[in-house]
Amino acid sequence: MTDAARFVVHARWVIPVEPAGRVLHHHAVVVEDGRIVAVLPDAAAREQFADWPQVERPYHALIPGLVNAHTHAAMTLLRGLADDLPLMPWLQQHIWPAEQRFVGREFVRDGTALAIAEMLRAGITCFADMYFFGEDTAEAAAAAGMRAVVGLIAIDFPTAYATDADDYLRRGLALRDAWRGHPLIRTAFAPHAPYTVSDAPLKHIAVLAEELDLPVHIHLHETAHEVTESESRHGVRPLERLAGLGLLTPHLVGVHATQLLPGEIASLAAAGASIVHCPESNMKLASGTCPLPALLAAGVNVAIGSDGAASNNDLDVLGELKTAGLLAKLATGDAAVAPAPLLLRMATLGGAKAFGLDDDIGSLVPGKAADLVAVDLSAPHCQPVHDPISQLIYAAGRDAVSDVWVAGRQLLKDRQLATLDLDTILARAADWGARIAAADHSDA
């Protein structure tokens, strides 16, 4: 286990992400006190750092930790509940009733622990979450040694977490203060969606985001119904409404974005806003297709997200990248669109940039945090390796992830979790599953 303050990881391929598309053959990443101090050829690393612990990964690609830029982590406990339904019946008849009945601190702790176990085994080292009881999400992530951007949730209606928009913001700001300065935990405002948050709290969030320099993580243009409802209620489309409230800024992180007009894409680019693409959730709920090629062509920063396991049904960023690439090719009729290096950037530097973390994570550059993932490309389905970046996206899959480090601490070694009690997590998940299923069936 490489919990030492200094060590060297040798890999067949090192893929730094910066500059784009570069592949370093037979290289090593040198780590000291949780940060990358050098990326250099094997022979030079062995000579210069001969007395440091050496980690050998001779059949592996070493990449930056993946960033899952949109999750509802605790909703792993609702995985598979009421599948194959449209968004609003799924939410209104199944998900929201289950949340009203079960969501509390224990639910969030257990569901988030399950999500973290799944994500670490998939090479995800940072996740941006939007859910209730963010205090418990932060505690679960910090205890596991994982990086997280915890959402300061805001919504108009009461839940077990808060009574109204002002109460959500009060609790959110207290959460932000409690975790301020933590090396692994950041926060972002997380108003749920334009259709669930009214003008006054959105205006307040816009002011606070500027004052505190925090991202604003929000579902945006997720469905055609959302857009037509906004036009009916407010006289404008959701993005135009957010712009009028002061939210169309570099802090904006809009999620889904399946219903965008060319002018709206141009506005996002001009504002320096980011979009989180969640292709598999969008497809499963038949919400629409995010115009990825047009966003990229306009210069919009695009990240990748899994969404919650209740609507996906997994937290697998490598899988999302493959789907995103294939969907973009199909939608445009252009097989050259969204090449593999660009997709990998979305899941690393793109996610980091969306949440203001790109100075610290997202690429293998000296000075950045040592968030590293080793992916084993020795299996038959990955051979031969003509292009390791393409193999990562189109062939390897999350099961090929063998090792994960966050800030130099090894959280996964030879596919075994180092900081989590997986047996206990699975037992708790099974108990929750039985209780939730029984309640859902009784309501049917």
Q: How far is CA 12 from CA 46, 53, 147, 376, 393, in A?
A: 14, 18, 26, 10, 17
Q: What is the pTM of this model?
A: 0.97
Instruction: Identify the pLDDT of residue 142.
Output: 98
Instruction: Identify the pLDDT of residue 1.
Output: 46
Radius of gyration over alpha carbons of the chain, in Å?
Answer: 21
175 phi and psi angles, rounded to 5 deg:
-60, -45
Choose among 271, 280, 279, 205: nearest CA to 239. 271
Instruction: Identify the pLDDT of residue 87.
Output: 77
Instruction: Identify the pLDDT of residue 233.
Output: 97
Instruction: Identify the pLDDT of residue 444.
Output: 52
pLDDT in tens, the chain (444 residues): 455 689 999 999 999 999 999 999 999 999 999 999 999 999 999 999 999 999 999 999 999 999 999 999 999 999 999 898 887 888 888 888 999 999 999 999 999 999 999 999 999 999 999 999 999 999 999 999 999 999 999 999 999 999 999 999 999 999 999 999 999 999 999 999 999 999 999 999 999 999 999 999 999 999 999 999 999 999 999 999 999 999 999 999 999 999 999 999 999 999 999 999 999 999 999 999 999 999 999 999 999 999 999 989 999 999 999 999 999 999 999 999 999 999 999 999 999 999 999 999 999 999 999 999 999 999 999 999 999 999 999 999 999 999 999 999 999 999 999 999 999 999 999 999 999 989 876 665
Residues 431, 352: Cα–Cα separation, whole Å: 35
Residue type at 320?
E
State both tokens at 204: 């307040």
Residues 234, 241: Cα–Cα separation, whole Å: 8
- Tell me the three state secondary structure of residue 305: coil
Instruction: Encode burial over 113-143: b for 16+ CB neighbours within 10 A, e otherwise.
Output: bbbbbbbbbbbbbbbbbbbbbbbbbbbbbbe
Instruction: Identify the pLDDT of residue 440.
Output: 79
- Domains and their CATH numbers in the chain: 6-64+371-413 (2.30.40.10), 66-354 (3.20.20.140)
